[in-house]
Amino acid sequence: MLLLAEIYDVAGRNDKADEHISSRDLQEAVIRHDAEHMIRRKVEYADSPTSALETLKRWKQERDIILVMGAGDIYKIAKNIL
């Protein structure tokens, strides 16, 4: 399963061309890629860290490995999922 939390502005990112990019765009690209390669997996979008945490809590099962990657305070999700 893949959960993509929304991209937020972080210190040091100054490229105005990136301002319009959303994790929804990435979700759509992954879904298209998976369809082209006959890959079946759940790919969801979370519009906020809170929403991402709620989804992960709903998905997680015993012995799962959850990888949290990102910038800023996304690490809080990892701390709260335990």
pLDDT tens digits for range 27-57: 999 999 999 999 999 999 999 889 999 999 9
Look at the chain and report how many structural domains it folds into.
1
- Between CA 72 and CA 41 the distance in angstroms is 27
- Residue 13 pLDDT level (bands cut at 50, 70, 90): low
Model pLDDT, residue 77: 86
Could you tell me the CA-to-CA distances from 79 to 8, 14, 40, 44 in Å, in that order? 19, 29, 29, 21
- Between CA 51 and CA 38 the distance in angstroms is 28
Model pLDDT, residue 65: 92
What is the value of pTM for the model shown?
0.80
Average of per-residue pLDDT values in the chain: 88
Select from 22, 13, 1 the least CA-distant residue to 71: 13
Model pLDDT, residue 7: 85
Range of the domain at 70: 2-81
